[in-house]
Chains A and B, each alone.
Chain A
Amino acid sequence: MSLKDKLDELHQRGLAEIKKSTDLKDVNQVRVSLLGKKGPITEVLRGMRDLDAEERPKVGAFANEIRDDLTAALTKRREELENAVLNARLANEKIDVTLPGTPVAKGEPHVIQQIIDQIEDLFLGMGYQVLSGPEVEEDKYNFEMMNLPKNHPARDMQDTFYITKEILMRTQTSPMQARTLETHDFSQGPLKMISPGVVYRRDTDDPTHSHQFHQVEGLVIDKHITMADLKGTLQVLAHELFGDKFDVRLRPSYFPFTEPSVEADITCFNCGGKGCKVCKNTGWIEVLGAGMVHPNVLKMAGVDPDVYGGFAFGVGPDRFAMLKYGVDDIRNFYLNDVRFLTQFTKKG
């Protein structure tokens, strides 16, 4: 048998053994036995010195070829076996992906807060400041400087929690407007502000009344502010809070601190304006009061009404939330049932 034949035979036998190996240990044994220093290939190659000088490199090259082929076959077999082991393990690790995820502790902002933040962000974007004043106010700022002198009949319209004759729980957040008007330096620019906060009225709590609720009042005073600007601003607000489909309409109304005074309605979201029970078949829902700031309010705060003027508006986040989400009892906002608080989580 020639050396070449021997190598051929070794090659074939080696490939067969590799194929037969069933685990990594087998593969290793096969490798040592075939390619090791005492293995048959080395043995065969030792016999090369008996060959002709002409034959020797050919056989050498042939032997290397076989060695390389066996090494490749071994590597391939090892990878196959490793993969099989891994796959078997992974098959074992299978879980039920439909089991629920592990709960995480997560808190939510109050729905009223969400609406206030939304309003604040909108007006911040339009260059307004956010100012919050005291909740315990002086009669002077809450009423008198809002053009509601002591004997004004409209004072009967809002019942007030008094602490003393002159000190009260604010019934609106507009006292902060009076306070700001008094101090604002118009040479530095116009006054554009909103004042969000808690307000109080002497009411018995029931599904539609709460002795504590929220208000966001806005005020813009400059040299050339128009009622058209008010209309546009309220439209932007309605679009932000309810969506672009909603129209705003103004109706005449009466507030002592504005003249002209208007009430603003938006398209009924229950029926889209066709008319339904919610909107008493009008297609509209009243959402806020507004108007052009009364000259007396400016005068009392030391601002010249012949030079400056502007608009004011007041919205109730509680009422917005009730309308927007169909909340049927205002007390829900202040009783803090966790099942209520965690309903308003959609942020997408």
Chain B
Amino acid sequence: MKISYNWIKEYLDLNVKPADLAEKIERTSVEVDDVVKPSDGLKKIVVGHVLAIEAHPDSDHLHICQVDVGEDEPLQIVCGAPNIAKGQMVIVALPGSRIADNVKIKKSKMRGIPSAGMICALQEIGFSDDVVPKDYVDGIYVLPADATPGDDVYDYLGMNDSLIDLDVTPNRGDMLSLNGTLRDLAAIYDQPVTLDQPEVKETGAAIADQLAIHANADLAPQYRMRLVKQVKIAPSPMWLQIRLWNADYRPINNVVDITNYIMLKYGQPLHAFDYDKFAGQDVYVRNAKAGEKLTTLDEGEHDLDEHDIVIADDQAPIALAGVMGGLTTSITDETTTVAIEAAVFEHDHIRKAAQRHNLHTDASQRFERGVNRAGVQDALDAAAELMTNLADGAVQAGTVIGSDNVPKPTVIPLSLAHVNAVLGTDLELAKVVHILESLGFTVTTAGEDMTVTVPIRRNDIHIPADLLEEIARIYGYDDLPTTLPTGRMTMGTLTSAQKLMRSTRHSLEGLGLNQAISYALTTTDKAKMFMMQPSEETKLAWPMSVDHAVLRMNVITGLLDDIAYNTARKVKDVALYEQGRVFYREAGNDRPSEEEHIAGAVTGTLMPAGWNQPAQDVDFYQVKGIVAAYLKDMAINGDVTYEANADIPEMHPGRTADILVHGHRIGFMGQVHPTIAKKFKIGATYVFELNLQAIIDMPKQENQYDVISRYPAITRDIAMLVPDEISNDQIVALIEKRGGAFLQSVKLFDVYDGVKVPKGKKSLAYTLTYQDKHETLVDDAVTQAFEKVEKRLQDDLGAEIR
């Protein structure tokens, strides 16, 4: 809501600049979006008097005007506005002036005729289309006849005011009005404020003979009407139009403008009906009936719902209560009798109605936040008073009251000790009482205990904590002390699972992978790929897009999306890992279980080519090296083995391995199936995905010291030909099993299956290292053990020792 600095100054003696006032409001009350002075940026825009006007010889719509701008000679200005006329006071942008959007106006020629400046529409000096009075939307604006040629136009149009745009939080409905803002500022600046008291002159007959209201008090706790006869519909005076357009309202006519003005001032939405259009003299506030329809002021047609509250006459709904009036009973130029409605509707109903009909109005916004139930009559009276003053209306005697339900004021006990204990302050009782009273609260004290009575208008204050906020903000957050919590000590440590997750990230980063964070919401297709266990998918009820509609059941596809993004941008070498959750759901459960996973994906080369080393495309064994090093870091207690798996549909059938610990599958790794890679528009990519939760849960090895033997080790190399189907794992297992007590390690150092090897065979070579921890090994002992292994390899695996 935009609030006028000048308007505030009419009530408070503030010696602050608009920007400082805005900052004060922001620091103490509600957020401020902006402070704007409409004349800022404009230059040399003055009142002009159109002395003479003639048609342009070469145009059917341009006019050549002689305009008095307060100088010795009138200016000749060519103007294309359809509503230009002799005698008008107009807005003139002089040569060398600056109008809206920083446009500069120079002397020019229009179709051959010199033109010294420009006659302006309001939009051209920065007004929004939405606030320009209808008569001037398509032409120039005409200023009041008493304007003085040559004067700056800004004061005539209220453009030297500063407008503070408040972003009012949902709890502070009271701040959506001048009066509410004034009350807060009075407390902030600690000065008294006197608000206007309406004085209605009732000159007509008793209203009770002309109008009856039947209101359901559950729907409308407050419902009142006044009747004003003999009104003369006309444009509002300038001061009122200025108040409205500076608050983003379009001036329409005196009656409608008054209702908007009173809403701005009191925060009470009003509606003006054309009384003569009522069918009968009875007005009903009730739920809509099924099948009822209403055309609202904006000409929108609405099928009403039984939950809607409507205002109806004897025949049909005439307004959607608290949201918008109906078209049939709206104020027109012919209206002579106005029924002014001032009411408070149940906020929940209004919120839903506004949503249901997609009709969010300033009235509905205020009702949703709650309107002061004790201030309805004042606002109604103020409107009636203005209708007398500005539209010559005769206010009929009395108010018809359909419902009058005012809640009891909230009374809150509050102790000084509690205030200081929560705020961390050392405030004195008098200070606290003074702050509360300055906000209009009533305080009685007994020792250091206070009893605070909250005015009805502050419907956001219910409990002591609400009062604490009032005290804290008015006292000033800057003046609160700055301390840290004291009291009983607590330990701040990561859990072992959290530590392992950190170690996981550090380990993989050390191994060359960059951490990625991808989207957990993905497509149905991608959610279901690379799955490590069967699961139902978990779908959003109302996704924003199909790209993010289903919860992932694997981490790899997110990484493949990332690789695709990089590939599309010509980044060829990508090495990523991601630690995050996958979501498995059992049929029948609404809620999935969440499992921590760790996944990696590498494409291109891991180690970029340098001047001294060629690029080496990533392969299975490089990624296996990463996985193995990572699992070694995690120190899982148990053998890690890799078993070929040709059955994961998204993986290369010949280049994929399950990863097992103690025979228990914890994940898989290998090359992404080329058809999948093609779908993602990426090149050859190697991936792994592991159940991190399983790794967290598995028993771990402890670090321990192992004496480094002082005795020399002896090595023996062995090369052999074996059938293709014999795996490295089988050979190593056999050597380790049959290698004897002194065998320390077996290391593969060569694999060859080229032309020199018979078809169906491959050549493998290993280094066996022997060592005795307690004495120097004798060569003979090694030879003996080595020969035993050779024999076993020949007998058990059909190896040909070379």
Query: Which residues does A use to contact B, with CB under 8 Å?
Result: 99-100, 102-110, 112-113, 117, 120, 123-130, 134-136, 138, 151, 153-154, 157, 161-164, 166-167, 169, 189-190, 192, 198, 200, 202-204, 211-212, 220, 222-229, 231-233, 235-236, 249-254, 259-263, 280, 282, 292, 294-295, 309, 333-339, 341-342
Please report the C-alpha to C-alpha distance between residue A198 and residue B582 in the assembled complex, in whole angstroms: 13
Cβ–Cβ < 8 Å partners of A295 in chain B = 463, 465
Residues of B within 8 A of A229 (CB): 424, 483-485
B517's contact among A135, A227, A294, A333, by CB below 8 Å, is which? A333
The reply to whether A337 and B542 contact each other, CB–CB distance below 8 Å, is no
Asked if A253 and B169 sit within 8 Å, CB to CB, the answer is yes
Contacts of A222 in B (CB 8 A): 485, 487-488
Q: Is B571 engaged at the interface, CB distance under 8 Å to the other chain?
A: yes
Residue of A nearest to B571 (CB): A338
A125 to B515, CA, bound (A): 25
Contacts of B580 in A (CB 8 A): 198
Known A235-B482, A334-B518; judge A163-B538 contact (CB<8 A).
yes
Distance to closest chain B CB from A120 (angstroms): 8
On whether the beta carbons of B610 and A162 are closer than 8 Å, the reply is no
Residues on B with C-beta less than 8 A from A335 are 562, 565
Tell whether, in the assembled complex, residue B566 and residue A228 are in contact, meaning their CB atoms are under 8 Å apart.
Answer: no
Q: Is the Cβ of A198 less than 8 Å from the Cβ of B520? A: yes
New A-B pairs, 10, CB < 8 Å, besides A126-B492, A189-B490: A107-B514, A113-B505, A128-B492, A153-B368, A189-B489, A190-B485, A192-B490, A236-B484, A254-B172, A260-B472
Residues of chain A lying within 8 A (CB to CB) of residue B347: 153
Contact assessment for B515 and A163 in the assembled complex, using a CB-CB cutoff below 8 Å: no
Known contacts: A128-B492, A336-B566. The answer to whether A200 contacts B518 by CB under 8 A is no
Taken residue by residue from 456 to 479, chain B's Cβ proximity to chain A (1 for < 8 Å, 0 otherwise) reads as: 000000010110110011000110
For the complex of A and B, the 7 pairs showing the least CB-CB separation, nearest first, are A228-B424, A105-B512, A226-B424, A260-B469, A254-B169, A250-B477, A336-B562
A298 → B minimal CB distance (Å) = 10
Q: What are the residues of chain A within 8 A of B42 when measuring CB–CB? A: none
Contact of A134 among B423, B502, B594, B613 (CB under 8 A): B594
Q: Are B566 and A135 in contact (CB under 8 A)?
A: no
Q: Is the CB of B541 within 8 A of A103?
A: no
Q: Which of chain B's residues has its CB closest to A310's CB?
A: B485
Q: Given A337-B571, A338-B571, A190 and B509 touching (CB < 8 A)?
A: no
Interface residues of B in 431-483 (CB under 8 A from A): 463, 465-466, 468-469, 472-473, 477-478, 480-483
Query: Complex: how many Å from CA A111 to CA B566?
Result: 18
Q: Does B339 contact A (CB under 8 A)?
A: no
586-630 of chain B: CB within 8 A of chain A: 590-592, 594, 606-608, 610-613
Contact A251/B27 with A107-B511, A211-B544 known, Cβ cut-off 8 Å = yes
Residue B708, interface by CB 8 Å: no
B170 touches A154 (CB 8 A): yes
Q: Which residue of A lies closest to B29 (CB)?
A: A252
B503 at the interface (CB under 8 A from A): no
Q: Show 28 residue pairs from A and B whose CB-CB distance is below 8 angstroms, ordered by the A residue.
A: A100-B611, A105-B511, A107-B510, A109-B509, A112-B517, A124-B493, A127-B492, A129-B490, A153-B170, A161-B543, A162-B542, A163-B540, A164-B541, A204-B544, A211-B521, A211-B548, A222-B487, A226-B421, A228-B480, A229-B483, A253-B169, A254-B172, A259-B463, A282-B23, A294-B465, A336-B559, A341-B576, A342-B514
Query: Could you tell me the distance between the alpha carbons of A138 and B489 in the complex, rounded to whole angstroms?
Result: 33
Q: Which of B515, B517, B521, B540 has the most CB of A within 10 A?
A: B517
> Given A211-B544, A224-B421, does the pair A190, B562 have CB atoms closer than 8 Å?
no
Distance A159 CA – B496 CA, assembled complex (angstroms)? 35
Answer whether residue B369 sits at the interface, using C-beta atoms and an 8 A cutoff.
yes
Using a CB–CB distance below 8 Å, which chain B residues touch chain A?
Answer: 23, 26-31, 34, 169-172, 347-348, 351, 368-369, 421-425, 463, 465-466, 468-469, 472-473, 477-478, 480-495, 498, 502, 505, 508-521, 538-545, 548, 551, 559, 562, 565-566, 569, 571, 573-577, 580-581, 583, 590-592, 594, 606-608, 610-613
Would you call B515 and A110 a contact (CB within 8 A)? yes
A250 to B542: give the CA distance in the assembly, Å.
37
Question: B540, A228: Cβ atoms under 8 Å?
Answer: no
8 Å CB contact of B612 from A102, A190, A333: A102
Query: In whole angstroms, how far apart are the Cα atoms of A229 and B480 in the complex?
Result: 10
CA distance A124 to B510 in the complex (A): 24
Task: Contact check, B477 vs A135: say whether CB atoms are below 8 A apart.
Answer: no
The reply to whether B541 and A136 form a contact with Cβ atoms under 8 Å apart is no
A250 vs B575: C-alpha distance when bound (angstroms): 43
Contacts of A126 in B (CB 8 A): 484, 492
Known: A250-B477, A336-B565, A337-B569. A260 touches B468 (CB 8 A): yes
A170 CA to B502 CA, complexed, in Å: 23
How far does the alpha carbon of A279 sit from the alpha carbon of B463 in the complex, in Å?
Answer: 35
User: Which one, B468, B469, B509, contacts A106 given CB within 8 A?
Assistant: B509
B365 to chain A, nearest CB (A): 10
| Contact indicator A202/B542 (Cβ below 8 Å) | yes
In the complex, A228 Cα to B490 Cα: how many Å?
20
Q: Is the CB of B516 within 8 A of A110?
A: yes
User: Contact: A251 with B565, CB < 8 Å?
Assistant: no
Write out the residue numbers on chain A whose beta carbons fall within 8 Å of the beta carbon of B170.
153-154, 157, 254
Question: For residue A161, which residues in chain B have a CB less than 8 angstroms away from its CB?
Answer: 521, 540-543
Instruction: Please name the residue on chain B nearest to A162 by beta carbon.
Output: B541
- Chain B residues whose C-beta falls within 8 Å of the C-beta of A334 in the assembled complex: 517-519
Q: Contacts of A339 on B, CB cut-off 8 Å?
A: 571
A223 to chain B, nearest CB (A): 7
Measured between beta carbons, the chain B residues less than 8 angstroms from A249 are: 27, 477-478
> Could you tell me the distance in whole angstroms from the C-beta of B15 to the nearest C-beta in chain A?
21
Distance of A130 Cα from B607 Cα, bound (Å):
36
Q: Which of A113, A129, A135, A260 contacts B515 (CB 8 A)?
A: A113
Which residues from chain B contact A154 at a C-beta distance below 8 Å?
A: 170
Asked if A106 and B512 make an inter-chain contact with CB atoms under 8 angstroms apart, the answer reads yes
Identify the closest chain B residue to A198 (Cβ). Answer: B520
Find chain B residues with CB under 8 A from A130 CB.
Answer: 494-495, 498
Contacts of B606 in A (CB 8 A): 105
A126 to B502, CA, bound (A): 19
- Chain B residues with CB below 8 A from A192, complex form: 485, 490, 492
Q: Closest residue of chain A to B505, judged by CB? A: A109
Question: Cβ of A157: which chain B residues have Cβ within 8 Å of it?
Answer: 170
Considering only CB atoms, which chain A residue lies closest to B538 in the complex? A163
Determine the chain A residues whose CB is within 8 A of the CB of B28 once the complex forms: 252
Across-interface contacts of A169 in B (CB, < 8 A): 521, 540
Contact yes or no, A223 B565, CB < 8 A? no
Instruction: Give Cα A192–Cα B487 distance, bound, in whole angstroms.
Output: 11
Please name the residue on chain B nearest to A164 by beta carbon: B590
Report chain A residues within 8 Å CB of B485: 190, 192, 220, 222, 225, 229, 233
Q: Which residues in A have their C-beta under 8 angstroms from that of B548? A: 211-212
* Residue from A261, A263, A335 whose CB has the most chain B CB atoms within 10 Å: A335
Chain B hits for A107, CB < 8 A? 508-515, 575, 577
A337 with B566: in contact, given A102-B612, A190-B488 (CB under 8 Å)? yes
Give the residue name and chain of the B residue nearest to A311 (CB): B485
Report the minimal beta-carbon distance from B581 to chain A, rounded to whole angstroms.
6
Whether the Cβ atoms of B511 and A251 lie closer than 8 Å is no
Chain A residue nearest to B347 in the complex (CB): A153
Q: Determine if A113 and B517 form an interchain contact, defined as CB atoms under 8 angstroms apart.
A: yes
Residues of B contacting A166 in the complex (Cβ-Cβ under 8 angstroms): 590
Chain A's closest residue to B469 (CB) is A260
- Check if B538 sits within 8 Å of A124, measured CB to CB: no
| A259 and B469 contacting across the interface, CB-CB below 8 Å | yes
